[in-house]
């Protein structure tokens, strides 16, 4: 069985817990921003590629000489 924490220990425990929670919130927030920006870049890349393909004239079809 564990003994109950003293008020000082409890305060230190809460402080560590709080610092962990803040760090986790920061990481999650950064991930949200990162995934949003990645999505924008991927969408832009795909749009550029589609535009490039639309501008490229189709290759001439091989003609049958017979």
Partner 1 sequence: MSTVQPSPIVAPMTAEWRDFFALTKPRVMTLVIFTGLCGLLAAPGHVHPVLGFTAILCIAVAAGGAAALNMWWEADIDAGMKRTRHRPLPAGRMDPISARDFGVALSCGAVITMALAIGWLAAGILALSIFYYAWIYTVWLKPRTPQNIVIGGGAGAFPPLIGWIAVTGHITLMPVLLFLIIFLWTPPHFWALALFVQIDYSNVGIPMMPVVAGERSTRHQILGYAVVLLPLTLLPWWLGYTGRIYGLSALGLGLGFLALSAHVGLRRPLPADDAMTPEKRLFKYSILYLFVLFGMLVVDHLATTAGA
Kindly state whether residue 29 participates in binding partner 1, applying the rule CB under 8 A.
Answer: no
9 exposure class (CB count in 10 Å sphere: 0-12, 13-18, 19+): exposed
C-alpha dihedral sign at 17, 23, 25, 27:
negative
- Give alpha helix (H) positions in the chain: 7-55
Q: Closer to partner 1 by CB, 5 or 59: give it.
A: 5
Q: Which stretch binds partner 1 (CB under 8 A): 36-44, 49-57, 58-66?
A: 36-44
List of residues contacting partner 1 (CB under 8 A):
1-3, 5, 9, 12-13, 16-17, 19-20, 23-24, 34, 37-38, 41-42, 45
């Amino acid at each position: 069985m564990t003994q109950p924490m003293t008020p000082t220990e409890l305060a230190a425990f809460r402080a560590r817990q709080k610092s962990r929670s803040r760090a986790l919130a920061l990481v999650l927030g950064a991930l949200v921003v990162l995934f949003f920006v990645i999505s924008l870049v991927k969408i832009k890349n795909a749009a550029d590629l589609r535009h490039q393909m639309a501008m490229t004239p189709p290759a001439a079809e091989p003609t049958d000489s017979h």
